[in-house]
Structure 1
Amino acid sequence: MKKSLLLALLVLLAPACRLAVAQKVQVQAVTEATPYTFLRNGKVAGPATEIVEMSLERAGLSDWRISLYPWARALDLARNEPNVLIFLIARTPQRESQFKWVGEFMKMEYHLYRLKDRREVTVGRLEDARNFSVGVTRDDLRHQYLQGKGFTKIVVSAHNIDNFRKLLAGQIQLIPLPENDLLDLCAETRTDCARIERVLTLDELSASLYMAYGLKTSDELVERTRVGFLKVKADGTVGRLMRLRP
């Protein structure tokens, strides 16, 4: 009789125990500095950051921290450490099996830009761009894409702002960016965007930006976060915030 009562009690308490364990999990959310994720008064802020915070809250998680890193470091953490949530990561066929995908923030379209007065940098198709130096962020989608297309004149930096300054200084000839990122880089460097000209849209590179965990994270935590994200997306918050200009 006592054993039966004990067994029944354990069955009743099991969901609460699992919830308590899940709530004790510490999530480390990581990304790079972008127009949607940036430091404000020493704290990571921005529209995408707000979405991550709300998703974790609605997942019933209370212990997390959000950090900005160079993109290569953020990728390394997500791939090799459990409970690391990387966000604003492009979902590509090459990455599909490397992560557990949580939810989509937005679709992103990339373009190649040059300085307007660099008329010798003539690009009518992707093959033409191989003749010129291109600045990319280490290990991000653009870096991997151009390498895969046989580009050899790739100049790698830790941050987009470094590449943009190299373009302005004439140290590189092309830079692949979404239009929103270009506008923000112009504002940050006090550059007249009329000096920059789009020469080619990288149709194959267009991709959706997601939040995702690495393979070492439990399926339970992934699903809890996915449910939290879907609650945020269902009421239109994700779309509204990602349309905001910082």
Structure 2
Amino acid sequence: MSIALRASSLVEFVGSWEPKSGLYGGNAMKAKIVAVFYACIINMMTLSNVFAGEVLVYGLNAMPFCGVVDGKPVGIAVEILNEATNYGAPVFVFDMNVPWTRAQMQLQQPGNEMHAIIPFSRTTQREENFKWIGELIRTQYHIYSYGRPEPIKTMEEAQQLAVGVVRAHAIIPILERAGITNLDMAHDAEINALKLQAGRFDTIADSDFIALYNWKKIGQDTRELLVGPAIGEYTRVYIAASLNFPDEIAKRIADALEKMHSDGKMQEIINRWR
């Protein structure tokens, strides 16, 4: 018998049961028992969702990591997670329509324990506030420019320029610590590429995968995109969740990703998007 059917039977039983007058307090006792049964039902339904293991994943429009093409979620991270299901991970359902800042807040809300987020860069500022389920890819941030006689050579030079970034991007605190504070925020990386091409600002700061992908997407030659200084060390990009994400589900995902890394499947997916 399913949990939902058992729950329905319990509600029907409690609703029809009439204690004898004076026995255990009559109606007052019945009300307490009803409350207890409802609490048990809610707990069982929650557990059933956990055991089913379907994970809702918020995704940033940050191709080629993830995004929407022809109405379907696509990208490196999406492909890796979908393939991970074949390696023992749960089923993933993707939502690419939640703004990035709100998505990070949504993870922390009660009732969203089975929600996760991609592509999420692991940084010192975020470290203690999220559960880092599994690494998907490593990338390097750079300062990119266009239409200049030569690339930006130093971070000090970039301090004098307007720099395009994606709103709520993990790169922002890194730039600010380097004294780069004239930041022009955009909803996604494609908008930044278009603004750079149109001369709206001087440079963009983003990962190598994202900057080059979106430059090609807007019809530009990547040889004309000038690569400047690296920003920090290589960045590890994860599927992450709140600290309340179930440990047993996190382990299933992590184990599946490790198997994919070991047998070369993960690198095969990454190489298709280079």
Answer whether TM exceeds 0.5 for this pair: yes
Q: 1:206 to 1:231 in 2, by over 3 A?
A: closer
Is contact 2:135–2:238 with CA below 8 Å preserved after alignment? yes
| CA drift at 1:61 | 2.8
What is the CA RMSD across the aligned residues, in angstroms? 2.6
Partner of 2:55: 27
Mapped to 2, the partners of 1:152 and 1:193 lie a distance apart of 26
Is contact 1:82–1:214 with CA below 8 Å preserved after alignment? yes
Mapped to 1, the partners of 2:104 and 2:148 lie a distance apart of 36
* Equivalent of 1:163 in 172, 188, 192: 192
Structure 2 residue 208 is the aligned partner of structure 1 residue 179: yes
Amino acid at match of 2:235: A
Q: Under a length normalisation based on structure 2, what TM-score does the superposition of the two structures give? A: 0.73
Partner of 2:39: none
* Equivalent of 2:75 in 28, 36, 46: 46
Structure 2 residue 137 is the aligned partner of structure 1 residue 109: no
Partner of 2:265: 237
Higher-strand-fraction structure: 1
Count of residue pairs the alignment pairs up: 226
Deviations 1:36-86 (A, max 9, x none): 323233111233212112324544534x41121443233233344321121
Partner of 1:13: none
Q: 1:195 to 1:233 in 2, by over 3 A?
A: closer
Q: 1:79 to 1:61 in 2, by over 3 A?
A: same
Q: Under a length normalisation based on structure 1, what TM-score does the superposition of the two structures give? A: 0.80
Is contact 2:120–2:237 with CA below 8 Å preserved after alignment? yes
Which of the pair has the greater relative contact order for Cα pairs under 8 Å at 6+ separation? 1
Mapped to 2, the partners of 1:111 and 1:184 lie a distance apart of 14
Tell me the SS of whatever aligns to 1:109.
strand
Give structure 2 stretches of 5+ with no counterpart.
1-45
Structure 2 residue 178 is the aligned partner of structure 1 residue 146: no
- Which stretch has the larger CA shift, 125-134 or 178-187? 178-187
Partner of 1:77: 106
Give structure 1 stretches of 5+ with no counterpart.
1-17
Amino acid at match of 1:23: F
Amino acid at match of 1:66: F
Is contact 2:132–2:240 with CA below 8 Å preserved after alignment? yes
Structure possessing the higher radius of gyration over alpha carbons: 2
Matches within 5 A, 1:54-93: 54-59=83-88, 61-62=90-91, 64-69=92-97, 70-80=99-109, 81-93=112-124
Mapped to 2, the partners of 1:67 and 1:167 lie a distance apart of 28
Is contact 2:90–2:249 with CA below 8 Å preserved after alignment? no
Mapped to 1, the partners of 2:74 and 2:197 lie a distance apart of 28
Deviations 1:176-229 (A, max 9, x none): 133332332222111233332122222x15211111111132222222222232
Partner of 2:153: 124
